[in-house]
C-alpha cells in the first residue's frame, strides 16, 4: 500500500510528536511525545511488501517500546522519591539509559545497524536525523555527567570499530551515526546551542550523502566502484565523506572544532585523545571506500569530454556548500 497521503499524515504526526515531547512541562508529556513518535513511525517503515520490512518494524517496535516503558517507570520512581533537582544519582542513570536506547547509542545500539539495513534510504534519513531529536533534548533536561561521559567513550569506540568490517552502505552510515552520536551527546553537555548547531550540520551532511545514494540507488559498497559514475559524482562522494569524517576545509569540521576547543580549554585531555583517534579510524574507512571508487574504474571517452549522465545541479550545489561553507561562515559574523 504505497500511498503518499498516508505517509504525509504519519509524517505530520511524527513532526508533531517531537514538538510535543520537547516542549512539555512535565516528564509525563515527554513520555507521551515519545509514544506518539513510535506510533507514527511504525506505519512509515512497514509500508512495503517484502518480508524484511515487517521484521524491521518488529525489531524497531520491540526496542523502542521497551525503552519508553522503562522511561515511564523511572519517571514514576523519580516522582515518588522526589528527586527533582540533583542530577547525578542512579535514577538519572536509568532515565538516561532508556533514552540512549531510544536513540540507538552504545551500549544499546545492537538494534540500530540491523534496522538501518532493512529500511529504504529516505526512511533511514528520518531514523538517523529526526528520531534523534527528542531523546537528545530529553537527555539534556536530566543527565548524569559521569555516566554520559562513559557512554560517549563507548559510542565513539563502537562507532569507529564497528564500521571497519562492513560492506553495506547503510550499516556503514549507521555506525558513523553512532560515532556522531558520541560527539552530539558531548555537545549537549557543553551547551544546547552547540548541540543544535552540530545536529543541523550533521543532518545536512547526512542528507547530502543519502540523497546521493538514493538517486544512484546504491545500497552496497561494490556498487560504488563497479558502475561507471560521472567524475563529479565521485568528487561529490569524496567531499561528502570527508566532510562527514570531519576533515578541515569541509563543513563537517566546524562543529567538531568547537567541541575540541571546549575539550582542550577545560583540560579533558583523555577524552580529546579518544575523540581524535576514533575520528581517524572513521576517516580511514571512508578513504578506503573513496579510493577504490576513484581508482578502480575510471572510464573516460576519447571524443566526448564531459559526459553528464545524471542530474547534476543538486549535487554540484551540495559539493559547493560542503567545501565553502566553513570559510563563508566566518564572514557572517563580521
Partner 1 sequence: MLIYDIRFLFIYMFFVGNLIFVSKNKHLLVVLLSLEFIVLSIFFFFLVLLMFIDYDMYMLMVFLVFSVCEGSLGLSILVSMIRSHGNDYFQSFSML
Q: In the complex, what is the shortest distance from the CB of residue 77 to partner 1, in angstroms, rounded to a whole number?
A: 8
Site for partner 1 in 22-41 (CB under 8 A): 28, 31-32, 35-36, 38-39
What's 165's DSSP letter?
Answer: G
Site for partner 1 in 52-71 (CB under 8 A): 52, 54-59, 61-62, 65-66, 68-70
The stretch near partner 1 (CB under 8 A) out of 16-24, 47-55, 226-234, 275-283 is 47-55
Among 7, 24, 46, 274, binds partner 1 (CB under 8 A): 46
Considering the complex, state which of residue 31 and residue 253 has its C-beta at the smaller distance from partner 1.
31
Q: In the complex, what is the shortest distance from the CB of residue 126 to partner 1, in angstroms, rounded to a whole number?
A: 18
Q: In the complex, what is the shortest distance from the CB of residue 68 to partner 1, in angstroms, rounded to a whole number?
A: 8
Considering the complex, state which of residue 54 and residue 161 has its C-beta at the smaller distance from partner 1.
54
Rg of the chain in Å (alpha carbons): 21
- The Cα 111–Cα 118 span in angstroms is 11
Produce one character per residue of 1-37: b if its CB has 16 or more CB atoms within 10 Å, e if not: eeeeeeeeebbebbeebbebbbeeeebeebbbbbbbb
Which of 120, 113, 116, 76 shows the shortest CA–CA distance to 98? 76
Among 51, 265, 295, 334, binds partner 1 (CB under 8 A): 51
Q: In the complex, what is the shortest distance from the CB of residue 91 to partner 1, in angstroms, rounded to a whole number?
A: 12
Considering the complex, state which of residue 31 and residue 225 has its C-beta at the smaller distance from partner 1.
31
| 42 lines the binding site for partner 1 (CB under 8 A) | yes
What is the per-residue binding string for partner 1 in 85-124, x denoting contact by CB under 8 A?
-----------------------------xx-xx------
Instruction: Report the 3 state secondary structure along 237-297.
Output: HHHHHHHHHCCCCCCCHHHHHHHHHHHHHCCCHHHHHHHHHHHHHHHHHHHHHHHHHHHCC
Q: In the complex, what is the shortest distance from the CB of residue 206 to partner 1, in angstroms, rounded to a whole number?
A: 21
Q: Are 264 and 251 in contact (CB under 8 A)?
A: no
Among 79, 291, 298, 320, binds partner 1 (CB under 8 A): 79
Considering the complex, state which of residue 5 and residue 80 has its C-beta at the smaller distance from partner 1.
80
Q: Are 96 and 143 in contact (CB under 8 A)?
A: yes
Considering the complex, state which of residue 31 and residue 143 has its C-beta at the smaller distance from partner 1.
31
Considering the complex, state which of residue 4 and residue 80 has its C-beta at the smaller distance from partner 1.
80
- The Cα 23–Cα 19 span in angstroms is 6
Q: Are 279 and 246 in contact (CB under 8 A)?
A: yes
What distances in angstroms separate CA 156 from CA 50, 107, 152, 153, 214, one per listed residue? 34, 11, 6, 5, 27
How is residue 307 written as a grid cell? 559526459
- The Cα 98–Cα 108 span in angstroms is 9
Considering the complex, state which of residue 134 and residue 187 has its C-beta at the smaller distance from partner 1.
134
| 72 lines the binding site for partner 1 (CB under 8 A) | yes
- The Cα 41–Cα 216 span in angstroms is 25
Q: In the complex, what is the shortest distance from the CB of residue 60 to partner 1, in angstroms, rounded to a whole number?
A: 9
Whole-angstrom distance between the N-terminal and C-terminal Cα of the chain?
A: 53
Contacts with partner 1, residue ranges (CB under 8 A) = 28, 31-32, 35-36, 38-39, 42, 46, 51-52, 54-59, 61-62, 65-66, 68-70, 72-73, 76-77, 79-80, 114-115, 117-118
Amino acid at each position: 500500500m504505497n500511498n503518499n497521503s498516508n505517509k504525509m499524515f504519519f509524517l505530520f504526526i511524527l513532526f508533531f510528536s517531537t514538538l510535543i515531547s520537547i516542549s512539555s512541562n512535565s516528564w509525563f508529556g515527554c513520555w507521551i511525545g515519545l509514544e506518539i513518535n513510535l506510533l507514527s513511525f511504525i506505519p512509515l517503515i512497514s509500508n512495503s511488501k517484502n518480508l524484511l520490512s515487517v521484521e524491521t518494524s518488529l525489531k524497531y517496535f520491540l526496542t523502542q517500546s521497551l525503552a519508553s516503558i522503562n522511561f515511564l517507570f523511572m519517571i514514576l520512581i523519580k516522582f515518588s522519591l522526589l528527586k527533582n533537582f540533583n542530577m547525578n544519582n542512579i535514577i538519572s542513570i536509568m532515565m538516561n539509559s532508556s533514552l540512549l536506547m531510544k536513540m540507538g547509542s552504545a551500549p544499546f545500539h545492537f538494534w540500530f545497524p540491523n534496522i538501518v539495513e532493512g529500511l529504504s534510504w529516505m526512511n533511514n534519513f528520518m531514523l538517523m536525523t529526526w528520531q534523534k531529536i527528542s531523546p537528545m533534548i530529553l537527555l539534556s533536561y536530566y543527565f548524569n555527567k559521569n555516566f554520559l561521559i562513559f557512554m560517549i567513550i563507548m559510542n565513539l569506540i563502537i562507532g569507529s570499530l564497528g564500521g571497519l568490517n562492513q560492506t553495506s552502505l547503510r550499516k556503514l552510515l549507521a555506525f558513523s551515526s553512532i560515532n556522531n552520536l558520541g560527539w552530539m551527546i558531548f555537545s549537549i553537555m557543553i551547551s544546547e546551542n552547540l548541540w543544535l548547531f552540530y545536529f543541523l550540520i550533521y543532518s545536512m551532511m547526512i542528507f547530502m550523502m543519502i540523497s546521493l545514494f538514493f538517486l544512484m540507488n546504491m545500497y552496497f559498497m561494490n556498487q560504488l566502484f563497479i558502475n561507471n559514475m560521472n567524475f563529479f559524482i565521485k568528487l561529490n562522494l569524496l567531499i561528502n565523506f570527508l566532510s562527514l569524517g570531519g576533515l578541515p576545509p569541509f563543513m563537517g569540521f566546524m562543529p567538531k572544532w568547537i567541541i575540541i576547543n571546549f575539550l582542550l580549554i577545560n583540560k579533558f585531555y583523555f577524552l580529546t585523545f579518544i575523540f581524535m583517534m576514533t575520528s581517524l579510524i572513521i576517516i580511514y574507512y571512508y578513504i578506503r571506500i573513496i579510493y577504490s571508487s576513484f581508482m578502480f574504474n575510471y572510464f573516460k571517452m576519447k571524443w566526448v569530454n564531459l559526459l553528464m549522465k545524471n542530474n547534476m545541479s543538486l549535487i554540484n550545489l551540495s559539493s559547493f556548500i560542503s567545501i565553502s561553507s566553513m570559510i563563508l561562515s566566518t564572514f557572517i559574523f563580521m
